[in-house]
């Protein structure tokens, strides 16, 4: 017997203490994790995102669904299949030059990889930037590119990359690329990319700086991997605010500016060509009267002009007694008068907004 008694008894006590400490540590760990999950304001949002991602993966027949991490599942909740995208080149007018260049430099190398396997110079770019004023079709072009190329489309909401817990944002930023690689070919689209990857400054928060660095590091991995078919596509109306390191990673840049008169004419014919229009509509005059209008503005003025016929129908229907009207039981066509009134109204609102009158 030693100084401290029987050795076997000491060993048993030590093992017992170790076991109790291990159990206590495990209970403490899981209890702390449970408490943190309960106080995490984003836990319900993450659960819903994972549930949505599971449904999307199942519907798309993705066998990788079970192989994705929780971070990748959060990103996968923003995954869109090309067959679900309703926009195609037919829905875009006046941007034939941009569409042709995208077909040559992005879509064809993806669809016919064997044609470009012997050249690194003709590989699809890993970064595409669409810049120009708001409402000129940048988002439409991104969606149509994914549709025509047949690639999966991650419509990335940058807000999901921000997390209150230290290190989580970096993991989510990394998950964007690890997921895209698993489901390639894939286009990662970031709208208003300047809000996320703007010029870095000394006053940037440490977590934000680390997230940007992580994002760019994984992006570099795509650039060096010629076999990988993942493209980061961004849209902005403030290209000068983008970090120079981001611009370097987006060699293919397309200026989507305000449409000129010929482009406005094509846009008007595209929009109104699907609507009942009266014979007095003069497309050339409408195109000349919409100087400075974006594609979105033109669509909105056409929608507003169409509402005039709805109002006329309601007034006619509310009148008592028989009314001799050719369109008493149906909506009349859109007339030139409707469109002119809509243009004048739109110009007035643009004037007041430009002058600072928002009342």
Segment 286-316, tens digit of pLDDT: 999 999 999 999 999 999 999 998 888 887 7
Write down the pLDDT at residue 358. 41
Q: Quick one: 45-255 is in which CATH superfamily?
A: P-loop containing nucleotide triphosphate hydrolases (3.40.50.300)
Looking at domain 261-355, its CATH class is mainly alpha
266 has a pLDDT exceeding 70: yes
Segment 112-129, tens digit of pLDDT: 888 777 777 777 888 999
Q: 122 Cβ partners below 8 Å, 6+ apart?
A: 109, 116
164 has a pLDDT exceeding 60: no
277 has a pLDDT exceeding 90: yes
321 has a pLDDT exceeding 60: no
4 has a pLDDT exceeding 50: no
Q: Which of 232, 231, 230, 236 is nearest to 138 (CA)?
A: 236
Q: Answer with the residue of higher pLDDT: 340 or 26.
A: 340
Write down the pLDDT at residue 357. 45
Write down the pLDDT at residue 36. 56
Write down the pLDDT at residue 312. 83
213 has a pLDDT exceeding 70: yes
- H/E/C letters for each residue in the chain? CECCECHHHHHHHHHHHHHHHHHHHHHHHHHHHHHHHHHCCCHHHHHHHHHHHHHHHHHHCCHHHHHCCHHHHHHHCCEECHHHCCCCHHHCCCCHHHHHHHHHHHHHHHHCHHHHCCCCCCCCCCEEEEECCCCCCHHHHHHHHHHHHCCEEEEECHHHHCCCCCCHHHHHHHHHHHHHHHCCCEEEEEECHHHCCECCCCCCCHHHHHHHHHHHHHHHHHHHCCCCCEEEEEEECCHHHECHHHHHCCCEEEECCCCCHHHHHHHHHHHHCCCCECCCCCHHHHHHHCCCCCHHHHHHHHHHHHHHHHHHHHHHHHCCCCCCCCCCCCCCCECHHHHHHHHHHHHHHHHHHHHCCCC
Mean pLDDT score of the chain: 81
254 has a pLDDT exceeding 70: yes
List Cα–Cα distances, 315 to 68, 312, 320, 345, in angstroms.
58, 5, 10, 21
What is the pTM assigned to this prediction? 0.77
């Amino acid at each position: 017997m030693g100084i401290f008694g029987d050795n076997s008894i000491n060993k048993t006590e030590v093992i017992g203490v170790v076991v109790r400490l291990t159990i206590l540590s495990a209970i403490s760990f899981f209890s702390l994790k449970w408490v943190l999950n309960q106080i995490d304001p984003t836990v319900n949002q993450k659960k819903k995102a994972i549930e949505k991602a599971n449904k999307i993966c199942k519907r798309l027949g993705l066998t990788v669904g079970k192989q994705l991490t929780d971070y990748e599942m959060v990103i996968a909740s923003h995954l869109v299949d090309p067959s679900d995208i309703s926009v195609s080149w037919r829905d875009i007018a006046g941007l034939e030059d941009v569409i042709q260049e995208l077909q040559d430099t992005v879509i064809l190398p993806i669809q016919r990889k064997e044609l470009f396997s012997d050249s690194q110079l003709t590989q699809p770019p890993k970064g595409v930037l669409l810049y120009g004023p708001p409402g000129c079709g940048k988002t439409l072009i991104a969606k149509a590119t994914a549709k025509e190329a047949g690639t999966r489309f991650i419509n990335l909401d940058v807000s999901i990359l921000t997390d209150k817990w230290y290190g989580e944002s970096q993991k989510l930023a990394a998950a964007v690329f690890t997921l895209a690689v698993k489901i390639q070919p894939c286009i990662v689209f970031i709208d208003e990319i300047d809000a996320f990857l703007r010029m870095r400054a000394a006053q940037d928060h440490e977590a934000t700086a680390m997230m940007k660095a992580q994002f760019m590091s994984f992006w570099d991995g795509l650039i060096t991997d010629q076999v990988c078919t993942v493209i980061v596509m961004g849209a902005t109306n403030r290209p000068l605010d983008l970090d120079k390191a981001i611009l370097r990673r987006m060699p293919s840049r397309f200026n989507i500016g305000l449409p000129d008169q010929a482009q406005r004419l094509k846009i008007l014919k595209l929009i109104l060509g699907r609507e009942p229009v009266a014979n007095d509509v003069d497309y050339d005059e409408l195109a000349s009267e919409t100087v400075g209008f974006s594609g979105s503005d033109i669509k909105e003025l056409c929608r507003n002009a169409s509402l005039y016929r709805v109002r006329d129908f309601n007034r006619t229907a509310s009148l008592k007694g028989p009314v001799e009207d050719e369109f008493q039981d149906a909506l009349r066509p859109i007339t030139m008068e409707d469109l002119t009134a809509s243009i004048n109204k739109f110009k007035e609102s643009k004037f007041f907004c430009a002058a600072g009158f928002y009342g």
